Structure 1
Amino acid sequence: MPDQSLRLMAVHAHPDDESSKGAATMAKYTSEGHRVRVVTCTGGERGDILNPRLEGDAEILRDLPGYRRREMAEAARALGIEHVWLGFVDSGLPEGDPLPPLPEGCFALEPLEVPVGALVRQIREFQPHVMTCYDENGGYPHPDHIMAHKVAVAAYEAAADPDAYPEAGPAWAVQKLYYDISFSLARIEAVHTAMQERGLSSPFEEWFERRRDRPRRPATARVRCAEHFPARDAALRAHATQIDPDGFFFQVPRDIEAETWPYEEFELARSRVGTPEGLEDDLFAGVRPGGAEVPAGRGKVGS
């Protein structure tokens, strides 16, 4: 019997990105019986230990990449998702003025066709109906996030083209591609204001003041998922080297968050099934379970 569950693929740069961006939405869909696969482009090899409780931990320092892989496996279990590594090397976050060159062989310096081909293979194997990724700014200007955006958009197009990467398997047309904008200024402002109104100290005060005049991304989908915030939080805590349990992620009372901002937001970037009017409440709205039509009249792709 063919698999008729709907499938979502989320493309991320590093382990832990999936838990801070769209995680509750993914947990919602897996709880409803849909399949969700996260593709992580790099192993996070050049990440720092951001949790002060683990600084200097000898076990972690011996093998940080291996430790982060185990963290990712635990986060995947918390969210109920499938997970694959795309296999590229973390570029690190360059700092200084002028910025130093990126390390040789890193993800951000790969010829675009190499990671695109790797992601096309994943798309054609998993056959997602919907994909999510970062916007053109990477969500924030990390070289791996910007590269992940370029790779995801190019692979969305190439996976549907039978003439592109024929060695990666039969073509598959993903029906919709969304930018994940769930960590938005609108969300921060709403939670920040709610805490101030209750006389509580907001962890976002300085953060919001520095960014309040920046352009805001237009959300086209808003998925209610507050009941899955606990799964999101468990996934965040699984990335213990990256997430400080006393940091700002956990300083907002969950009842206030659920009341004020009980959803995650997305921006529709590409669609092969039309553009809906108004704000969507489901990333799978309008998709065809059996597959989409390939552009330019090439015929139907997928099962």
Structure 2
Amino acid sequence: MTEQLRLMAVHAHPDDESSKGAATMARYAREGVEVLVVTCTGGERGDVLNPKLQGDPAILENISEIRRAEMERAREILGVGQAWLGFVDSGYVEDYDPADTSKLPEGCFALVDVEEAARPLVAVMREFRPHVVITYDENGGYPHPDHIQCHRVSVAAFEAAPDPDRYPEEGEPWQPLKLYYHVSFTRRQFVAMHEACLAAGIESPYAEMLEKWGADEGRDNSDRITTQVVCDEYFVIRDEALRAHATQIDPDGFFFRAPLELRRKGWPTEDYQLVRSLVDSSVPEDDLFAGVAQTAGV
């Protein structure tokens, strides 16, 4: 009997899994891969971003329970497993500088020592035994304290999980074979979707954003992309999972302004950067598991 391929995606908050890599996970799950989302915090300090739900005191009073319920619904839609690490949301800090933690609330995730914070992730990694791990880059994808900490903890756990001398009480060592970073919301992607809208003769919802972005290519990380997973067939599932996070996502907001078919046509992939590999695979890739089956005997 061959072993099942396994994919782990490590995220900072509930809803991050649905805005970054959701269609990829939905595709692999339906192709028989076992997929696990690991959520570092409960999103307790997240604002209510859906204008239709803002101002309801009952939501603010029960935000932790609500966000857990939203995560459960999104998990079901995506067809994946999910584990909580149990850390406390740090909240968003404007112009966050990781060297200055003075604005962070006591006891939050971003203030936990990385060695300590990696422990529960190592335990989950050794239990689930992923072949591939996905997380954020060193900037967190964007500079939210929890996203940057999620990057640090994910990389630390990836390196520690196979080492029998580290966290020996957290299970048998396991060597993940590949580590990827999400490469999301690139300028190249938005230009492609903008042009798809114009070609279809409709007003582009990306025009104003691209105008503000300007010609500053230095803000773009498209050149980090090594791996593009075609998953446009699963964008409808991604949209449904996003909407399940009702406190965080405006159903009429930015993510959904362009018609689904144009988003599929303009940019049919979700994109990643391969940063660690213990298998023979060459870039560019179109599969996160390229080279894994041969090495893992799957």
Looking at structure 2, the residues matched to 215 and 36 of structure 1 have their Cα atoms a distance apart, in angstroms, of 29
1:156 aligns with 2:153: no
Choose from 262, 267, 278 the match for 1:272.
Answer: 278
| 1:115 aligned partner, one-letter code | A
Is contact 2:229-2:286 (8 Å) kept?
Answer: yes
Q: CA deviation at 1:290?
A: 7.2
Cα RMSD, aligned residues only: 2.0
1:252 aligns with 2:258: yes
Looking at structure 2, the residues matched to 163 and 288 of structure 1 have their Cα atoms a distance apart, in angstroms, of 28
| 1:15 aligned partner, one-letter code | P
Is contact 1:129-1:289 (8 Å) kept?
Answer: no
Looking at structure 1, the residues matched to 173 and 95 of structure 2 have their Cα atoms a distance apart, in angstroms, of 43
Looking at structure 1, the residues matched to 143 and 211 of structure 2 have their Cα atoms a distance apart, in angstroms, of 19
Q: What does residue 180 of structure 1 align with?
A: 182
Q: What does residue 80 of structure 1 align with?
A: 79
| 1:280 aligned partner, one-letter code | E
Looking at structure 2, the residues matched to 235 and 179 of structure 1 have their Cα atoms a distance apart, in angstroms, of 21
Is contact 2:96-2:144 (8 Å) kept?
Answer: no
What is the CA deviation profile of residues 66-113 of structure 1, one whole-angstrom value per residue up to 9, with x for unaligned ones?
000000000000000000111100000123899861001000000111
Q: What does residue 283 of structure 1 align with?
A: 288
| 1:81 aligned partner, one-letter code | V
1:219 aligns with 2:225: yes
| 1:53 aligned partner, one-letter code | K
Is contact 2:196-2:265 (8 Å) kept?
Answer: no
**TM-score, scaled to structure 2:** 0.92
Looking at structure 2, the residues matched to 170 and 96 of structure 1 have their Cα atoms a distance apart, in angstroms, of 40
* Percent identity of paired positions between Structure 1 and Structure 2: 56
SS of 2:292's partner is coil
Is contact 1:130-1:175 (8 Å) kept?
Answer: yes
Choose from 261, 265, 289 the match for 2:267.
Answer: 261
Q: What does residue 70 of structure 1 align with?
A: 69
Q: CA deviation at 1:4?
A: 1.5
Distance 1:151 1:70, change over 3 A: same
| 1:130 aligned partner, one-letter code | V
What is the CA deviation profile of residues 5-37 of structure 1, one whole-angstrom value per residue up to 9, with x for unaligned ones?
100000000000000000000000110111100
SS of 1:228's partner is helix
Looking at structure 2, the residues matched to 22 and 186 of structure 1 have their Cα atoms a distance apart, in angstroms, of 17
Is contact 1:4-1:289 (8 Å) kept?
Answer: no
Q: CA deviation at 1:114?
A: 1.3
Q: CA deviation at 1:63?
A: 0.5
Looking at structure 1, the residues matched to 254 and 96 of structure 2 have their Cα atoms a distance apart, in angstroms, of 28
Looking at structure 2, the residues matched to 173 and 92 of structure 1 have their Cα atoms a distance apart, in angstroms, of 33
What is the CA deviation profile of residues 162-198 of structure 1, one whole-angstrom value per residue up to 9, with x for unaligned ones?
1111111111000000001133222111101221333
Looking at structure 1, the residues matched to 70 and 55 of structure 2 have their Cα atoms a distance apart, in angstroms, of 18
Structure 1: stretches of 5+ with no match in the other structure: 293-302
Q: How many pairs does the alignment contain? A: 291
Alignment of 1:161-172 (within 5 A): 161-172=163-174
Looking at structure 1, the residues matched to 96 and 15 of structure 2 have their Cα atoms a distance apart, in angstroms, of 28
Is contact 1:43-1:68 (8 Å) kept?
Answer: yes
Looking at structure 2, the residues matched to 133 and 223 of structure 1 have their Cα atoms a distance apart, in angstroms, of 15
Alignment of 1:1-303 (within 5 A): 4-95=3-94, 101-211=103-213, 212-213=215-216, 214-217=219-222, 218-274=224-280, 276-288=281-293, 291=296
**TM-score, scaled to structure 1:** 0.91
